[in-house]
Amino acid sequence: MDNRNIKLAHNLIKNSIDLKEGDNLLVEVNGEDGLNLANEIINQAKKVHANPTLNLIKYGKLKNFLINATNNEIIEYGKKDYNRMKKMQAYIGISAPQSDKSLEGVSQEKLEIYNKYYTALVHLEQRVKHTKWCILRYPNQYFANKNNMTLNEAKDFYYNVCNVDYNKMKNAMEHLIYQMEKLQHVQ
């Protein structure tokens, strides 16, 4: 595991979603590459006495489900996950796709049903409006290739951006605000 996940998990728990004792947290991973980060988030969530749940979505299995499911099965899948999301106070989504074509082969009709009865219901209606949430990509080989970087370069860039010292930044901004408020005119 990359030790930088420890700091990132801390930043997500403390700064991004401000997880509290007793909060129910859903950590959802799209693609297996983000599992180490997800496990570290779960470990740190337990340290603040929150109640984390892990959901791993494998693109191949989701694709197969959507191709073979009836419209009603897709609707029921959305209802089940909507009911789970209603129990959550917090959500962290980690996306680690292997390609742009993860759902290639799923008909437009099925994708529209999935987007309407799953994505819109679970994420837009419930998660976005009723939880503390953060979604992020995870630096895998696909991420590196998309950004014309080696995997190590992509990881270094990612962790340097995501693992900023937010408290130090906050203190610097407070000083800047104080200085700006003393000014009468800015040119």
Dmax of the chain from CA atoms?
A: 66
The mean per-residue pLDDT over the stretch 150-168 comes to 91
Containing domain of residue 171, as a range? 4-182
Q: Is 171's pLDDT higher than 90?
A: no
The mean per-residue pLDDT over the stretch 81-98 comes to 96
- Position 90 scores a pLDDT of 98
Q: DSSP for 99-156?
A: -TTTTTTS-HHHHHHHIIIIIIIIIIIIIHHHSEEEEEE---HHHHHHTT--HHHHHH
Residue 166 corresponds to which tokens in the numbers above? 């937010």
Q: What is the pTM of this model?
A: 0.88
Q: Is 55's pLDDT higher than 70?
A: yes
CATH code of the domain in which 39 resides? 3.40.1830.10
Q: Is 187's pLDDT higher than 70?
A: no
Residue 187 lies in a domain: no
Q: Structural domain tally of the chain?
A: 1
**What is the rounded distance in angstroms from the CA atom of residue 6 to the CA atom of residue 36?**
10
Residue 95 lies in a domain: yes
